[in-house]
Amino acid sequence: MPASTVPQPHSDHLDPLLFGHDPTPGIVSVHADHLGQAWVWRREGERVTLEHDTFRPWLFARDLRDVEHLGTRLVWNDDVAPFSVRSLRGEEGTLRYLLTASDAQALRREVLRGASKRKGQTIGSLRDISGYYSVGPVEGYLMATGRTYFKSLEMQDTVRLQFDLETTGLNPETSRMFMIAIKDNRGFERILEARKASQEGEMIEALMQIIRERDPDIVENHNISSFDLPFLIGRAERLGVGQRGVGLNFSRPGAPAGLWRVQDGGSSPHWACAGREIVDTIDAVRRMNLPSAGLKAVSQLFGIAPEGRVYLEGVKIAETYASQPALVRKYALQDVEEVEALARRVLAPSFALARMAPRPYHRLPYAGTAMGMFEPMMVRAYLRAGMALPGKQPPSESQQGGSVTLFAEGVLERVVKADVASMYPSLIRHERLAPRSDALGVFLHLMDHLTGLRLDHKAAARRGDLGEHEAMQSAMKLVINSAYGYMGAGRMSVFGDVDAANTVTRRGRETLNEVTGALALRGVTLIEADTDGVYFSVPDGWTEADERRVIAEVDALLPTGVTLEFDGRWRAMLSHETKNYALLGYGGELNLKGAAFTSSRGEPYGRGFLEEALKSLLGGEIARIPELYRATVERLQAGGYTNAEVASRAKVNKAQDAYLQSRSTRQEAVYEALIRSGRTWKSGDRFILYQRSGAGLSVLDDPEGCDYDAPFYVQQLRNGYASRLKKGLSAEGYAQVFAQRQPGLFDRPLSEVRAVWQSVSSEPR
DNA sequence: TCAATCCGGGG
DNA sequence: GTGTACGGATTGA
């Protein structure tokens, strides 16, 4: 293990509001319970030690009426009594009492008992009443102590283990595991196999044994929370593997054993155990809004797919294993190798955030940045300062958003994009816009220090030593960018202030108006402005230097701390409607934005046509489009496409009986097609569907055949694809380009059809 | 137009 | 029960 080369700020210099006030280094996991016991695992080199700690569970309250019934059992300013209270600095109406207890569950029960009596109905959760703020035990411990994970540790200092299941299917009720690939970042690699079904239980035991021996701090995989763990647990239950009453024990010794589900409500499940952090690379990847969040796709995108990567289709893996086991072993091992590399890259920001936010690492990849990180840091500061949390927010007007204005539609050339760098954070910092309720000024303190530190890390990353610095700066960016959303979250957030958030957006709109106004005065044609950026077209003959000069001129007019930046240039743009456009780069690359151009289930034939047609339209070769269109129509009619090329994919998430139940109230085309095709299905099945001649929407049985409904697809080509070019042509030009017949003698020559644009008079929305 | 709901991804 | 609300696209009132 290479020694840490990243100069981290010395512990003494860590800002306490940002990193918590306790500099304890090396924490890799924390478990805590409602009785105020905490288990803290700390790593020093290759050694991990477990420390027991205690803390006093706490709860902010607006008043004491719900605990009045405790009488003398509630003691003032005492830290050992079963129930106690201390008052915090703050006015009436704020959460100015800190209730503490030796047993958090007992305290909660008593509060709920009092509240139920007061309200005359059973209150089952503190969430159902106002006037309280509480968190879970681990968060409570971290906030109270000022500790955070990973201080003075880098990701590679921790022991990270990856495991990946290979199974005969997706459902543990009907499928089984036949292979588990395991590796860690200390050089361990292992393939476990269960050729026979009878060996599956032993294979699970072997996995658990390896986890105990390799003793990782962190367990990683791609989609581990929705696939590998539920599947593993499902199989262990069926096979009777695992400890009685505990199930599979992922926890480290010396603390409660087990593996449990966290966060049941609605969203996808996540998992925790004591002493190790279970993290899912898919959570981090989803946050990046890539076209696909799949492991293989993302690995290729990031260039981390190993040399000679084996690709196997999911459904074929089990059958391939029967004939070529070595190939599947290689495949499975490459999976965990890829996950390890991916985790290093995409989980680094969460790892860095764990040093700041009073939350366990495993929560951060899927926690919202505002409620999940910003708020806990603010509450920690108030708890530390003995300050009351704000009470109910005053009613305020509804929240206003950024402005989106379409100035021009159609085809424009020489397109430039300029944007205001980090507009909302800049306005917040330079105009000191903060929640009124933040008496301690923590909000702006965090914004200032995060921004300052981020610039340091960015500079360090640019100097060449990437890795940690890049992770740090992008982690900080996440938190900085969540600040505005946090203020605007209204009643949801303790420090929410819709009026302050509205001031930010209003100043944003004013800034954008200043930018568009100043640009227009400099002779450019505005196309679209959206929140913090603007597309415009520059006059013929302008060079890139001219483009940058005009942006610099406008930038100079803006207030200090607010910067307009050059963000890109393109040969031409088809502006379709707000947030829907196509860009053609100077290198010929096409970039599509918005649902109008990137409809998720676009059929291959139509997608191909649209891309070619757009390239011709934007590249000044309109005369090629009629040819392309007619050729596509003729090919459709002549059966020149296969069924597969006109088909689209569909996934069903309702089980068959579930659909049959809801069918009378709501029919859904895909399920109706399955019923018509005489198919049975279960939840999660995927089908490829197409319009079959004379049969309507049908399941694709014969991909190479061509019994598709040609008139339907010709119609769709016209209405669903060709129509996307409408704004770029005159009505006459459009009719001519997409004529159903060959041009006649008296038609105007196609070479005279020009791309057009027109300005749009629309009110800013 | 807006808010409920669906969905990803895994073999 | 080791927190609450993941976020973008789609759908339907």
Per residue in A54-108, pLDDT (tens digit) is: 999 999 999 999 999 999 999 999 989 999 999 999 999 899 999 999 999 999 9
Q: Kindly tell me the number of DSSP H helices and DSSP E strands found in chain A.
A: 25, 26
**Interstrand relation of A270-272 and A260-262 (parallel, antiparallel or unpaired):** antiparallel
**Rounded Cα distance, A255 and A43, in Å:** 17
Using the CA of A332, give the nucleotide whose C1' is nearest.
Answer: B11
Nearest by Cα to A582 from A619, A548, A544: A619
Cα-to-chain-centroid distance, residue A719: 33
Taking residues A704-726, report their average pLDDT: 84
Residue A10 is predicted with a pLDDT of 40
Are the C-beta atoms of A215 and A207 separated by less than 8 Å? no
More confident residue, A722 or A666: A722
Residue A27 is predicted with a pLDDT of 97
* Alpha-carbon distance values, A717 to A18, A123, A128, A634 (Å): 55, 57, 52, 12
**Rounded Cα distance, A686 and A399, in Å:** 40
> Which residue type is seen at A334?
Q
From the Cβ of A653, is strand B under 7 Å away?
A: yes
Output the distance from A42 CA to B10 C1' rounded to whole Å: 33
Output the distance from A367 CA to C5 C1' rounded to whole Å: 9
From the Cβ of A559, is strand B under 7 Å away?
A: no
Nearest by Cα to A689 from A639, A644, A636: A644
Grade residue A601 by pLDDT with cuts at 50, 70 and 90: low
Grade residue A576 by pLDDT with cuts at 50, 70 and 90: confident
pLDDT at A220 over 90: yes
Using the CA of A138, give the nucleotide whose C1' is nearest.
Answer: C2
Q: A387: which 2 tokens?
A: 């300050």
Query: How do residues A519-558 score in pLDDT, each as one tens digit?
Result: 999 999 999 988 888 999 999 999 999 999 999 999 999 9
Grade residue A745 by pLDDT with cuts at 50, 70 and 90: low
**Interstrand relation of A218-221 and A277-280 (parallel, antiparallel or unpaired):** parallel
Smallest CA–C1' distance to B8, residue:
A293
Residue A396 is predicted with a pLDDT of 67
Taking residues A483-507, report their average pLDDT: 84
Residue A125 is predicted with a pLDDT of 80
Using the CA of A485, give the nucleotide whose C1' is nearest.
Answer: C5
pLDDT at A6 over 60: no
The number of C-alpha atoms within 13 Å of A749 and in the hemisphere containing its C-beta is 2
Among A541-550, A647-656, A671-680, A701-710, which range has the highest average pLDDT? Answer: A541-550
More confident residue, A198 or A577: A198
Are the C-beta atoms of A660 and A668 separated by less than 8 Å? no
| Mean per-residue pLDDT over chain A, rounded | 87
pLDDT at A596 over 50: yes
More confident residue, A393 or A528: A528
The total of other beta-carbon atoms located within 10 Å of residue A152's CB is: 18
Taking residues A15-30, report their average pLDDT: 95
pLDDT at A603 over 90: no
Residue A2 is predicted with a pLDDT of 33
In 3-state terms, what secondary structure has residue A332? helix
According to DSSP, residue A701 is labeled: S
**Interstrand relation of A404-406 and A270-272 (parallel, antiparallel or unpaired):** unpaired
More confident residue, A290 or A594: A290
Using the CA of A33, give the nucleotide whose C1' is nearest.
Answer: C2
Taking residues A146-173, report their average pLDDT: 94
Are the C-beta atoms of A30 and A149 separated by less than 8 Å? yes
Output the distance from A281 CA to C8 C1' rounded to whole Å: 19
Residue A741 is predicted with a pLDDT of 66
In 3-state terms, what secondary structure has residue A515? helix
Residue A647 is predicted with a pLDDT of 80
pLDDT at A3 over 60: no
Any residues with CB less than 8 A from the CB of A538 and at least 6 apart, and which? A414, A416, A523, A524, A525, A546, A547, A550
Smallest CA–C1' distance to C11, residue:
A668
Any residues with CB less than 8 A from the CB of A138 and at least 6 apart, and which? A30, A31, A32, A359, A360
More confident residue, A743 or A737: A737
The total of other beta-carbon atoms located within 10 Å of residue A210's CB is: 19
Any residues with CB less than 8 A from the CB of A387 and at least 6 apart, and which? A88, A89, A90, A439, A440
Cα-to-chain-centroid distance, residue A581: 24
Smallest CA–C1' distance to C6, residue:
A366
Output the distance from A209 CA to C2 C1' rounded to whole Å: 24
Nearest by Cα to A571 from A608, A552, A544, A605: A544
**Rounded Cα distance, A174 and A170, in Å:** 8
pTM above 0.75, yes or no: yes
According to DSSP, residue A269 is labeled: P
Residue A263 is predicted with a pLDDT of 67
